[in-house]
Amino acid sequence: MQNKTFAKLICILQVFVLLALSGCSAQGTNEDTEGLTPVYYINNEETKTEAYYVSIEAEDSDAEINALLNALAQKDPKARYKAPLAMGFEIQKINLYEGVLTLDMSLEYKRLVFTTEVLVRAAIVKTLCNSEYVDAVRFTVDGKPLKDHSGFEVGLMDAATFISNDGNEINTYEEADVMLYFTSADGSSLIGVYRNKFYSTSMPLERFVVDELISGPSAGVEGLYPSVNPSVTVLGISTKDGVCYVNLSSDMLIPYGNVPTAVSVYAITNSLCNLPNVDKVQILVDGVVPEILESSYEANTEMVITLDEALQIQADMLGE
């Protein structure tokens, strides 16, 4: 499938959205849905995706994929759900190559609220991966790779992307109010600030904390500087018996600016030890504990200062 606009292809074939008309749900019996294809929509509260079933009549990959996209754009006459492709953006280009389907979204896609965007993405990917021609889906926005709320490229996605470790679908979100530790201008001290965001309940809260820490302080807040090299990638994270094991990429050992590795380690440790289930933190790099790091760390309050003190350090360094 070469680059084509969705608008030109949306009417290639007729799609019978049976559940939209009959009121059947994804919880129906096998007999109810036999021979039908699940298409995922978003509930009106925008808290989860729901499967409805359609009859797809297609002879090749182009026809099948566009039939599914057409179904994803169909609004429910009874207003029981929201169509993920009727959320104020358009698909500008479609390309299928060796099982990877790339969808290029218009710039309006970036206007979606974080929680809504994840649900839209989940609904589209889970639906399209029902096609025998699609192994994975990639999103771009106006030709550029889609990035998540932390600024990382989303990359390839399949149905398993939206399944948590306990086998449940990524459907719900919680509001997190976490303490993150960033550095002062001289890179020697830590300042704790609260960050409030929604996160997917399929993501460990520990992962959310580290991702947010790597993303750096909020723009416009003076006196705060990144405490962890933004090039660091989280390779894995888990907590057992009060110890949080954080596996990071080798960039963790590369000092960022004037921030020593030890300060970065305690920025992560202090941030994680604010969680009720974490007492200690073990930092691994590419799966092993480097010789320059200790086997585990506890929170260090001695290097923590207030924001006012951080602002004074900044002023002194600037000669104000």
| Count of C-beta atoms within a 10 Å radius of residue 148 | 15
3-class DSSP state of 183: strand
Q: For residue 95, is it within any domain?
A: yes
Query: Are 70 and 199 in the same domain?
Result: no
pLDDT of residue 216: 92
Q: Which contiguous run of DSSP H or E holds residue 72?
A: helix 61-72
Query: Are 184 and 144 in the same domain?
Result: no
Query: Are 39 and 112 in the same domain?
Result: yes
- Structural domain ending residue among the three candidates 102, 132, 162: 162
Q: For residue 140, is it within any domain?
A: yes
Q: For residue 62, is it within any domain?
A: yes
State the average pLDDT for the chain: 84
- Structural domain ending residue among the three candidates 162, 194, 221: 162
3-class DSSP state of 278: coil
Query: Are 220 and 105 in the same domain?
Result: no
Q: For residue 272, is it within any domain?
A: yes
Query: Are 194 and 250 in the same domain?
Result: yes
pLDDT of residue 319: 79
Domain encompassing residue 135: 6-162
pLDDT of residue 150: 56
Task: Give how many domains the chain has, as a whole number.
Answer: 2
Query: Are 99 and 224 in the same domain?
Result: no
Query: Are 90 and 24 in the same domain?
Result: yes
Query: Are 148 and 182 in the same domain?
Result: no
Question: Tell me: the pLDDT tens digits for 34-62?
Answer: 789 999 999 888 888 888 998 888 889 99
> How many Å apart are CA 72 and CA 70, to the nearest integer?
5
pLDDT of residue 164: 45
Question: Tell me: the pLDDT tens digits for 175-223?
Answer: 788 999 999 999 999 999 998 776 777 678 999 899 999 999 987 788 9
Query: Are 108 and 185 in the same domain?
Result: no
| Count of C-beta atoms within a 10 Å radius of residue 246 | 24
Q: For residue 167, is it within any domain?
A: no
Q: For residue 137, is it within any domain?
A: yes
List per-residue pLDDT tens for the chain, 320 residues long.
544 444 344 333 333 433 333 333 333 334 477 789 999 999 888 888 888 998 888 889 999 999 999 999 998 888 889 999 999 999 999 999 999 999 999 999 999 887 788 889 989 999 999 999 999 999 999 999 998 765 667 888 888 777 544 445 555 566 788 999 999 999 999 999 998 776 777 678 999 899 999 999 987 788 999 999 999 999 999 999 999 999 999 999 998 999 999 999 999 999 999 999 999 999 999 999 999 999 999 999 999 999 999 999 989 888 76
Query: Are 91 and 188 in the same domain?
Result: no
pLDDT of residue 161: 75
What single string gives the DSSP state of each residue in 103-156?
EEE-GGGGGS-HHHHHHHHHHHHHHHTTSTT-SEEEEEETTEE-B-TTS-B---
- Structural domain ending residue among the three candidates 139, 162, 185: 162
Q: For residue 1, is it within any domain?
A: no
Query: Are 268 and 304 in the same domain?
Result: yes
Query: Are 97 and 239 in the same domain?
Result: no
Q: For residue 304, is it within any domain?
A: yes
Q: How buried is residue 3: exposed, middle or buried, by Cβ count under 10 Å (0-12/13-18/19+)?
A: exposed
Rg (CA), the chain: 23
> How many Å apart are CA 313 and CA 320, to the nearest integer?
10
CA 134 to each of CA 92, 124, 155, 166, 189: distance values in angstroms, whole numbers, following the listed order: 19, 12, 15, 25, 50
